[in-house]
Structure 1
């Protein structure tokens, strides 16, 4: 599957890191005003490409460097013969440094600069040059009013660097935020453009490095790396005389009364993703139905921990938690499995039992797949707090548990205990349904069984799962979890062919 965002860099930065990169470029000899001019030219080119029939622009300008970009873009449009106005939401008299020079250039070009008013006409392409990446608290008036009216205008919107009101680090809306059709961002991709509310607010994303020396940019350590098909680990081709014993044995434990489907989805996902053998320990009443649906799964009804020990000893990888519930049966089955020295994937209620102090975490070599609510319980905080800074929450949980963490959601994150962070910007809202997490847990178990490391399995598994959902989501609502498996299999073959 072609990676539609391959033209973008993989490095993602927090706002302070991008400001540091900007300062390095200036210190290395590129004047700040020259960088501002390059940004304006990049935004102007992107505007004309995106709206080739446009001939009018209204720039909403604040009073920082983001406003300077807007004033210079207005000057470019004026010189091109467009109808142009700047609505100064920030007082131009308070501009300083390069932004003041930009405002002066716009005036010299003949741009009409008008004070902001709620009655001001919002016509043509609207350019958001209000607040930039430095915002940390809630948007204040009159900026909040300007953003609300901009969003309600029905006009096309270009955001300069970042939609105003969006946190550059987390993607959180700080009270109110611009909803852009196109965002042109500079020097380094901001992490918040890909997290939480970021994709809904930035629209299409264009990037300009402002002709920065790549060697200078390489000196900065990104906050995260974006997962792309070209940079992902791959499974090795299989020998022609390969057999099931070479590709791992996964044991899935789950499926309490009323939740048998979750365990079967995980087990079937293991098979479809290439595991050599898959066993399933579940409630006895489900075994006949499970074998009728998927006879390749070695399903066994179990009632206590004693019955599961032999199954666990024979497996190479454990997937614990899909549909297991939080009752005595679940606690009994899972109580001793954490002590086993095997790669383990913990999902769903296995994580809730761990958060409640009912289970002991493995010493290492394990992977957890929480959604934000489960992550909050493990961290002893709220779901809102996790969502407010998903990257920080994922890293904190990885350190706390000494585990590889997959924090699910828009912009799913893979965090390592050593502080590495990876983000997957693929997926589709049609994936918002039951059972998709169970499919992911099984996929991760299969990749581990076939020899990938924890980090490699998480990177590849999250990307495959999201891309499969994206591919199927094009048909719209009604995607069910089982649909994903065939698409994951197809994508895995495209990425890691079974034969050379």
Structure 2
């Protein structure tokens, strides 16, 4: 079992906050003071001495954290520029207390500046309290912050980013660093979250771990370190039959490269044998390009069924197409009742005739997920957590919803992969992932473990492959790093 880091919804963190106040004999204002001190220390790491500090404060506890920080800056000899979007009756509770404490020493600006040309920005506008689209002065403040392009520190979560989904509806603060309090919010790690959060730092504000255990863990972040612990070396007397036979199905006219990439990835991820079922015109080319792949030209149902009988696991979809040939192979694959990875055109065929199967791993990108759910891509991206759960409930097995912060669901918790980079937005990357997961299934991993390990190996391999930059990253560039990762223990 891979150990993982729990991720929380905004409400779960608020409940932990409430429990801390009730059981530890502390006040919400005490926690706010702790948060302000953490921000003060973090700010020193990102700003030069005596550099101008611009703090944007809203109305809730996020603003209160900002006012505590402002007071600490004043006491240290730095006069911050504090822009208050809400004052008077709009401020209540601990946020009002923090505002009053700061106001005894410093002043606030109730009018936003036209531009900011220097200094460091602190976003204490909204935090996890976002429950409607940004508008008015708040939207103006976010646009001003982003337009300035100054080093920006977000308090808890960038304002405008949904803490639960990672979705940005209108605009959000693009932070260089986000200091998250008590627990990591799951929206930081998927959809728009990684683009807006910058480097993420967590401080639990000395809340004891026993209080975290009260909250049910529903979302978890995968860890490469734990992955390495659970991947064991091979026995000395191993033979290729011990590591399974993966059959890759696809490569219609014009798409032979897709199935070849999937096959080579399966080899690099440790499958004992890898066969290719493809168009007859492509078989020889694939064998020449990678001699270790056993490539077979398939005319139709009979050819394929005979070949597939000897396989341990199937991977259906890379370059498959949606022709009668493709549909025939897909139907045979389903009838074999073997563990299967379904990607690309395999998913498109499935969307046309939906069915449920508890023996497969589906790996849709957002557009494919939208076709499977008969909705729009935007609806998928608005709440990727809901989408991956709905896909799993409707289609069974394990679902990997690809994209920034890939999500994995096998009917229980949702797992988040925080690795990966924008260079992966290129043709063939999904084919490589299909091959890796198929190889892990062939070697005996369960569906959920193969999906988790596969996604992590794929993403970390891509991160290692961008030493010279993200642009121009090829799917084939991942191959040596896949092998490297599979041999780290």
Partner of 1:454: 447
Hey, what's the Cα distance between the residues in 2 that align with 1:236 and 1:482? 25
* Secondary structure at 1:288 match in 2: helix
Which residue of structure 1 aligns with residue 351 of structure 2?
Answer: 355
Corresponding residue number in structure 1 for 2:30: 34
SS in 2 for 1:163: coil
TM-score w.r.t. length of structure 1:
0.94
**Which of 224-233 and 308-317 deviates more?**
224-233
CA 208–223 in structure 1, closer or farther in 2 if over 3 Å, else same: same
- Please give the alpha-carbon distance, in whole angstroms, between the structure 2 residues aligned to 1:60 and 1:440: 42
Could you say what secondary structure the match of 1:473 adopts? coil
CA separation in 2, counterparts of 1:85 and 1:223?
A: 40
State whether structure 2 residue 328 is matched by structure 1 residue 332: yes
Match in the other structure for 2:390: 396
Structure 2 equivalent of residue 425 of structure 1: 418
The CA deviation string for residues 47-100 of structure 1, in whole angstroms up to 9 with x for no partner, is: 112224354322111111111000000000000000223111112442111111
How far apart in 2 are the matches of 1:205 and 1:321?
36
Q: What's 1:203 paired with?
A: 198
Match of residue 367 from structure 2: 373
Deviation by residue 1:283-306 (Cα, 9 ceiling, x = unmatched): 000111111111211111011111
Q: CA deviation at 1:105?
A: 0.9
**In the alignment, is the contact (CA less than 8 A) between 2:115 and 2:144 conserved in 1?**
no
- Tell whether 2:72 aligns with 1:72: no
CA positional deviation for 1:32: 0.5
Gap runs ≥5 in structure 1: 1-5
Q: CA deviation at 1:249?
A: 0.6
Question: 1:137 is matched with which residue?
Answer: 132
Provide the rounded CA distance (Å) in 1 between the counterparts of 2:131 and 2:238: 56
Native 8 Å contact 1:278 1:297 kept in 2:
yes
Deviations along 1:402-449, whole A, 9 cap, x unmatched? 1201111110111112x3110001111111100011011011011111
On the 8 A contact 1:87/1:115 being kept in 2, the answer is yes
Q: Using the TM superposition, give the Cα deviation of residue 101 of structure 1 relative to its aligned residue in structure 2, in angstroms.
A: 0.6
SS in 2 for 1:386: helix
Aligned equivalents of 1:36, 1:83: Cα separation in 2: 20
Deviations 1:111-147 (A, max 9, x none): 2212123448675221111111111221011111111
With the length of structure 2 as denominator, give the TM-score of the two structures.
0.96
CA distance in structure 2 between the partners assigned to 1:79 and 1:437 by the alignment: 54
- Residues in 2 aligned to 1:55 and 1:210: alpha-carbon distance in whole angstroms: 27
Q: Distance in 2 between matches of 1:290 and 1:85?
A: 64
Report the equivalent of 2:163. 168
Query: How far apart, in 1, do the equivalents of 2:50 and 2:391 lie?
Result: 48
Q: Which of 10, 13, 17 is equivalent to 1:18?
A: 13
Distance (Å, rounded) in 2 between the aligned partners of 1:42 and 1:416: 37
For 1:284 and 1:51, locate their aligned partners in 2 and report how far apart those are by CA, in whole Å.
63
Give the aligned partner of residue 94 of structure 1.
90
Aligned to 2:403: 409
Please give the secondary structure, in 1, of the residue aligned with 2:80. Answer: strand
- Indicate yes or no: 2:309 matched with 1:316: no
Show the counterpart of 1:194.
189
Sort the Cα spacing of 1:450 and 1:177 in 2 relative to 1 into closer, same or farther, 3 A.
same
How many residues are aligned here?
Answer: 484
Instruction: Note if contact 1:184-1:206 (Cα within 8 Å) is conserved in structure 2.
Output: yes
Alignment match, 2:456: 463
Match of 2:431 in 1: 438
Change in Cα spacing, 1:216 to 1:377, as seen in structure 2 (3 Å) is: same
Distance (Å, rounded) in 2 between the aligned partners of 1:103 and 1:49: 25
Q: 1:185 aligns with which of 180, 184, 189?
A: 180
Say which SS state the counterpart of residue 55 (structure 2) adopts: strand
Q: Distance in 2 between matches of 1:406 and 1:127?
A: 36
Give me the CA root mean square deviation: 1.6
Name the CA shift for 1:16/1:251 in 2 (closer, same or farther; >3 Å).
Answer: same
Deviation larger for 150-159 or 60-69? 150-159
Map residues 247-326 of structure 1 onto 2, 5 A cutoff: 247-326=243-322
**Residue pairs, 1:40-55, within 5 angstroms:** 40-55=36-51
Are the structure 2 counterparts of residues 255 and 151 from structure 1 closer, same or farther at C-alpha, using a change threshold of 3 Å? same
Check 1:89–1:272 CA distance in 2 against 1; reply closer, same or farther (3 A cut): same
Secondary structure in structure 1 of the residue aligned to 2:419: coil
Contact 1:172 1:196 in 2 (8 A): yes
User: Which of residues 209, 212, 221 is equivalent to 1:214?
Assistant: 209
